[in-house]
Structure 1
Amino acid sequence: MATDNINEMSMNEMMQQVDASMKKIHKGDLLKGRVISVTDSEVMVNIGYITDGIIPKSEISDKEVDIKEILKQDDEIFVYVVDINDGEGNVLLSKKRADKLKVWKDIEENFKKGTAFDVKVNEVVKGGVTSSINGVRAFIPASQLSISYVKDLNVYLEKTLTVKVIELDQQKGKLVLSAREIEKEQLEMKKKQVWDSLQKGQKRTGTVRKLMKFGAFVDLGGVDGLIHLSDLSWKRVTDPSKVVSVGDVVEVYVLDFDREKNRISLALKDVSKNPWDEVKDKFKVNEVVEGTVVKFTNFGAFVEVEPGVEGLVHISEISEERIAKPSEKLKIGEKVKVKILDIDSQKNRMSLSIKEAIDKPVEDFSKYTDKEDEGVTLGDLFKDKLKDFKVE
């Protein structure tokens, strides 16, 4: 009798130990199990519970599949607990529900971490495009496709995009992705790399992105720099489109930069070949040379005597006559002779004169002789002039 009690207690203790060793499961749990057996109609799975789980064929996939091609004995899979007891003492499981739930958990994890991943665009819909993440439908609004404006969404069909989750609601089945956010992050990284590597005097390659009246903006790889009109060429430039076009790949020099103000000054002209460095060797004061009128100001006209070398003709040096503005005597593009009055190569300045370059006519004494004054000599003319002077 005592032996029976001892055996009974031992059996109870064993069952308690077995129960304690078995994990507790609940309806709706997502579990990891090992496939025990596979038939044409169901899969038996060890889920570490007191009884095994059964996955009917209808819970394998939403598509018509051959179970034996999908699952094999000893495969480790995730399963969803549909019911603790299927009526026959087994736990009813679902693989397709587990797959979707696992996908949502992975998506949520990506959302929390801000992880980027690739998706393929399946369809163009109103306001954007759609894709699928392991059976979960995702929406990418048109505004989230790119940093740039997207005119035709159809160009994204079948295209693979790197995206991140920006909004999700599993209960509503709502999942919103963004490729624009990834582009922004990549652009910020490129900007940092450019700023970190900038040096004055450095030569870099860039692409002309935009033309303005005052110059051209060049993309250096995520950061724009400005080539001012005066730095496009050593020659005077009034229209940047005459030197560069949008899309041109150009070699530029870094003149200066200010990271806090987000400004980079560039030059297209070769800063090492300043034509003013050779001005004193090529030109001399009092020399008369030919140039081209390139600009008017209120105080005079600028004349280019060599590509990149201009001198100022003050308004008082344009003509012997008194004029109010340079355009009264000159035209832009006109070729003129100028006399060099002064050269300051350090300040890149040259003073010129047009009136000093013009040959002054010799006084025409024939005006004092006509038909009525025939026979009058030059001496007579001087005597006539001397009459006006009295010597005291």
Structure 2
Amino acid sequence: MNEFEDLLNSVSEVNPGDVVTAEVLTVDNGQANLVISGTGIEGVLTLRELTNDRDADINDLVKPGESHEVLVLRQVVGKDTDTVTYLVSKKRLEARKAWDKLVGREGEVVTVKVTRAVKGGLSVEFEGLRGFIPASMIDTRFVRNTEKFVGEEFDAKIKEVDPAENRFILSRRDVVEETAAAARAEVFGKIAEGSVVTGTVARLTNFGAFVDLGGVDGLIHITELSHERNASPKSVVSVGDEVEVKVLSIDEEEGRVSLSLKATTPGPWDGVEQKLAAGDVVEGKVKRLTDFGAFVEVLPGIDGLVHISQISHKRVENPKDVLSAGQDVTVKVLEVNSADERVSLSIKALEERPAAAEGEENTEKRQSRPRRQKREQKRDFELPETQTGFSMADLFGDIEL
């Protein structure tokens, strides 16, 4: 009787909310059966109260003979017997400890794991505690596909902790922005206008290409992509390409950098004097027509102008009446001006002048000579002393007064 009374006195009372130590007796049917140390009272630990990973194998997490600290949830009475057991949780105890650790840590950056994508954001886990990242706090840009983050681990800043409301809000965007700001400061400290830097093509638009310089995106405007006129961005570069670009301008306050790709590549006008000279006869293709002439490509990237007066010996009212875009023509080089990037060309210089045109020219010459002689006679009459050397005495010396 004395031994029995001692046994009864050794059994402690167990209440929901208590934190106790329990030894695993058996593991079967997806749950662990335990005995609460110092009481002889049995407890049940299910997989759901052990981990948030529903695909986990409970046999990998607990084994017979192990002791675990658990939280007592509620009393469970057997259906067929009067046996009383308690449902316990290891997961909730870890969550309680995590809540205690989180209080007052707003603004701190922690590493979280994304467990699933939910409506309006991401569900994450931190030290056994479930947190939430709203969609607006995932990145600096709107994220349409949140599923891609599931299973990832990344840093996030704690925004709000409220254990009473079970509220734990974090922001990944804050970390991304701070990291980007530090990277921008580092990049702006290294680059300067006129310098040549290396970057990676990040994205293409219809007006140019954005290049990641290591934390700062610089823009290559479509006019600075290639020496070729009207080249589309996708015909020059692709996303992921590593390129060398020249820095044209920097606006650190606005975070803008203007870049040029064509400034780092040889242009068609470089060394043009060795390729083209006045007097050369070359083949070309009419690229475009204007009211004042035709532009003919004589070398890759070099268009020369055939002025309307150099198209034909005959009068040309409009270049479109004689030439068409895409037409192959033979031209003579009249002048090469590499400084101004201009080439003057002529088509009529390679054609024989029509006889009628020669007759007209002779007529013009004959008509022009009398006019010049008449002007010269007029000048002789107006300025006799200067033109002939005569004096008034020479003219009137024999007249008696």
Q: What TM-score, normalized to structure 1?
A: 0.62
1:128 alignment partner AA? G
Does 1:107 find its partner at 2:136?
no
**What CA distance in whole angstroms lies between the structure 2 residues aligned with 1:261 and 1:227?**
16
Query: How far is 1:306 from its partner?
Result: 1.3
User: What are the Cα deviations for residues 57-102 of structure 1, in whole angstroms up to 9, with x where unaligned?
Assistant: 99x997598997347xxxxxxx9xxxxxxxxxxxxxxx99986555
Aligned to 1:167: 160
Residue 251 of structure 1 is matched in structure 2 by: 243
After superposition, the Cα gap between the structure-2 partners of 1:178 and 1:332, relative to the gap in structure 1 and judged at 3 Å, is farther
Q: For 2:269, what is the secondary structure of its paired residue?
A: helix
Residues 298/242 of structure 1: CA separation in 2 closer, same or farther (3 Å cut): farther
Retained in 2: the 8 A contact 1:118–1:162? Answer: yes
1:141 alignment partner, one of 134, 143, 150: 134
Instruction: Determine if the alignment matches structure 1 residue 265 to structure 2 residue 258.
Output: yes
1:14-53 to 2 correspondences below 5 Å? 41=36
Q: Could you tell me which residue of structure 2 aligns to residue 310 of structure 1?
A: 303
Of 136, 139, 150, 2:143 maps to 150
Partner of 1:221: 214
Give 1:308 shift.
Answer: 2.7
Residue range with higher mean Cα deviation, 298-307 or 341-350: 298-307
RMSD: 4.2
Gap change, CA 1:311 and 1:266, over 3 Å in 2:
farther
Instruction: Please state how far the C-alpha of 1:342 moved relative to its aligned partner.
Output: 2.3
Alignment of 1:273-284 (within 5 A): 273-284=266-277
Q: What is the match of residue 15 of structure 1?
A: none
Secondary structure at 2:297's aligned position in 1?
strand
Contact 1:163 1:181 in 2 (8 A): yes
Matched residue SS, 2:271: helix
**Secondary structure of 2:262's aligned partner:** coil
Q: Which of 67, 70, 73 matches 1:69?
A: 67
CA distance in 2, matches of 1:38, 1:211: 63
Secondary structure at the aligned position of 1:275 is classed as coil
What is the Cα deviation at residue 161 of structure 1? Answer: 2.6
In 2, Cα distance between the equivalents of 1:139 and 1:252? 42
Cα distance, 1:120 vs. partner?
1.3
Query: Is 1:286 aligned to residue 286 of structure 2?
Result: no
The 5 A counterparts of 1:364-379 are: none
> CA shift at 1:297, angstroms?
4.5
Q: Which amino acid aligns with 1:249?
A: D
Q: Secondary structure at the match of 1:277?
A: coil
Aligned partners of 1:252 and 1:266 also within 8 Å:
no
| Matches of 2:269 and 2:140, distance apart in 1 | 44
- Matched AA of 2:250: D
Write the letter of the residue equivalent to 1:218. V
Give CA-to-partner distance per residue, 1:158-192, whole Å, 9 cap, x none.
22232112233332111111222222222222222
1:89-108 mapped onto 2 (5 Å cutoff): 100=95, 102-108=97-103
1:197 positional shift: 1.8
SS of 1:237's equivalent in the other structure is coil
The aligned amino acid for 1:157 is V
* Preserved contact between residue 22 and residue 68 of structure 2 (Cα < 8 Å): no
Change (3 A) 1:299 1:240: farther
CA spacing shift, 1:226–1:133, aligned 2, 3 Å: closer
Distance in 1, Cα, partners of 2:103 & 2:246: 45
1:198 aligns with 2:191: yes
Q: CA deviation at 1:361?
A: 4.7
Give 5+ residue unaligned stretches, structure 2.
1-19, 24-34, 52-61, 72-89, 357-401
> What is the distance in 2 between the residues matched to 1:275 and 1:344?
13
Structure 1 residues 159 and 347: CA distance shift in structure 2, 3 A? same
What letter corresponds to residue 107 of structure 1 in structure 2?
L
Q: Distance in 2 between matches of 1:167 and 1:297?
A: 67
1:128–1:140: 8 Å Cα contact kept in structure 2? yes
CA displacement 1:326-382 (0-9 Å, x = unmatched): 4443333332222222222122222223333x4125539xxxxxxxxxxxxxxxxxx
- Against the structure 1 CA distance between its residues 302 and 231, is the aligned structure 2 distance closer, same or farther, given a 3 Å change threshold? farther
The share of aligned pairs that are identical, in percent, is 35
Paired residue secondary structure (1:346): coil
Report SS of the residue matched to 1:195: helix
Structure 1 segments, 4+ long, off by >6 Å, are 37-40, 64-68, 95-98
Q: Which amino acid aligns with 1:210?
A: L
